[in-house]
Amino acid sequence: MDLVIARPEGLYCPAGDFYIDPWRPVERSVITHAHGDHARNGNQHYLASSASEGILRARLGQDINLQTLAYGQRLTHHGVTLSFHPAGHVLGSAQVRLEYGGEVWVASGDYKIEPDGTCAPFEPVRCHTFITESTFGLPIYRWQPQAQVFNEINQWWQANIAAGKASVLFCYSFGKAQRILHGIDASLGPILSHGAVEPLNRVYREAGVYLPPTIYAGDVKKSDPIMRQALVIAPPSAGGSTWMRRFGDYSDAFASGWMRLRGTRRRRGVDRGFVLSDHADWPGLLWAIEQTGAERVMVTHGSIGVLVRHLREQGLDAQGFNTEYGDDEEENIGAEPVIAEVQA
């Protein structure tokens, strides 16, 4: 019997009668991580990792009916034993391990292999059936070590300081932004963050993740000379908006796995594209799948067809799951909640 099946509401566990990251409101939901396409409003019950509690409440409301488990802690519901294991994607992100009648399934949500210091690193979990994402499921996607990318960002920032320009770096405001803040050389100059990024920085700091001091961009006047030396972290949606006017002459860049391709880089129309993703690259996906020891693999959002065919050629029983998850490397996540500005 399949422990997880695809239903119109989301991925469903019939034995336990609950959904994993449902995209329509349900009675019981298990949430892998707090990105808007995986954690949605309107469910009666939420179960998630303890590490994701701060962000989930900040985004979905302080009053949601949320129960949390520490990584590795087990809970049995209708005979299904459930536990969360780090997925290395963003703060609090988890793989969900389900065990029932000797069968083990792992739903991994979104994951990244390389540890980044802002969240618990990915841990492979042995299972019979592994549910994997496939956002970057093509062999053209192979990431450089992140240290190299941070180096490139530092160099770009430094060159802009020398030219007297602000450095505006667009990236996804939850996860990518904090990973960049954690990784760059903060001694180079002041760091400003957009109103969509700053509240999330606070949640990360409260969770004990080190982020260098940041200044809310709205507090800095256009005439202030620190603008010419600042690194500005902003969501992609700020690009081309009137919000950008305050920076005068600036250089802009975009950080995403999609920047690996010339075409997407050029389409984005920014000065620089940094290849930095919170998802596994092609070798990462294959490594993770292999580590689980699973013989059966269900492939969700991304290059489903390609990954399924490739895994079948490797002798695995692979099939696709159609889901409604978005792409947090771009901007097209359905309803991304905005955290209200909290007074510091």
Partner 1 sequence: MKAFAELYAELDATTSSNAKLAAMQTYFAQAAPQDAAWAVYFLSGGRPRQLVPVRILRELAVEVSGLQPWLFEESYQSVGDLAETISLVLPENSHSSEAGLAEWIEDKLLPLRGETPEYLARHLPALWAQLDRPSLMLCIKLITGSFRVGVSKLLVTRALASMAGLDSKRVAQRLVGYTDLSNRPNATSYLKLIAPESADEHAQRGGQPYPFFLAHALSQPVEEFEALLGPASNWQVEWKWDGIRAQVVKREGRLWVWSRGEELVTERFPEFDTLVHALPDGTVIDGEIVVWKSTHPSTEDAFDPQSSAPPAVQPFALLQQRIGRKTLDKKILEEVPVVVLAYDLLEWQGEDWRNRPQAERRAQLEQVIAHGNNPVLLASPILTGSDWFDLAQQREASRRLGVEGMMLKARDALYGVGRTKDMGVWWKWKVDPFSVDAVLIYAQRGHGRRASLYSDYTFAVWDGPPESSQRALVPFAKAYSGLTDEEMRQVDSIVRKTTVEKFGPVSSVKPSLVFELGFEGIALSRRHKSGIAVRFPRMLRWRQDKTVDEADSLATLQDLLA
Task: By CB under 8 A, tell whether 7 contacts partner 1.
Answer: no
Q: What letters, b where the CB count within 10 A reaches 16 and e where it falls short, cover 145-177? A: ebeebbeebbebbeebbeeebbbbbbbbbbbbb
Other beta carbons less than 10 A from residue 73's beta carbon? 12
Task: By CB under 8 A, tell whether 316 contacts partner 1.
Answer: no
β-partners of residue 192 are 215, 232
Task: By CB under 8 A, tell whether 78 contacts partner 1.
Answer: no
Task: By CB under 8 A, tell whether 165 contacts partner 1.
Answer: no
Task: By CB under 8 A, tell whether 240 contacts partner 1.
Answer: no
Task: By CB under 8 A, tell whether 61 contacts partner 1.
Answer: no
Nearer CB in complex with partner 1: 246/310 = 310
Task: List the one residue from 221, 222, 245, 262 that touches partner 1 (CB under 8 A).
Answer: 262
Sketch the per residue contact string, 266 through 295, with partner 1: x for CB under 8 A, - otherwise.
Answer: xx-x-xxx----------------------
Task: By CB under 8 A, tell whether 151 contacts partner 1.
Answer: no
Give 271's DSSP letter.
S
Instruction: Point out which span in 191-199, 219-227, 258-266, 336-344 binds partner 1 (CB under 8 A).
Output: 258-266
Number of chain positions touching partner 1 (CB under 8 A): 21
From CA 112, how far away is CA 339, in angstroms rounded?
A: 25
Task: List the one residue from 74, 78, 126, 309 that touches partner 1 (CB under 8 A).
Answer: 309
From CA 25, how far away is CA 196, in angstroms rounded?
A: 25
Task: List the one residue from 33, 112, 265, 279 that touches partner 1 (CB under 8 A).
Answer: 265
From CA 54, how far away is CA 67, in angstroms rounded?
A: 12
From CA 140, how far away is CA 177, in angstroms rounded?
A: 24
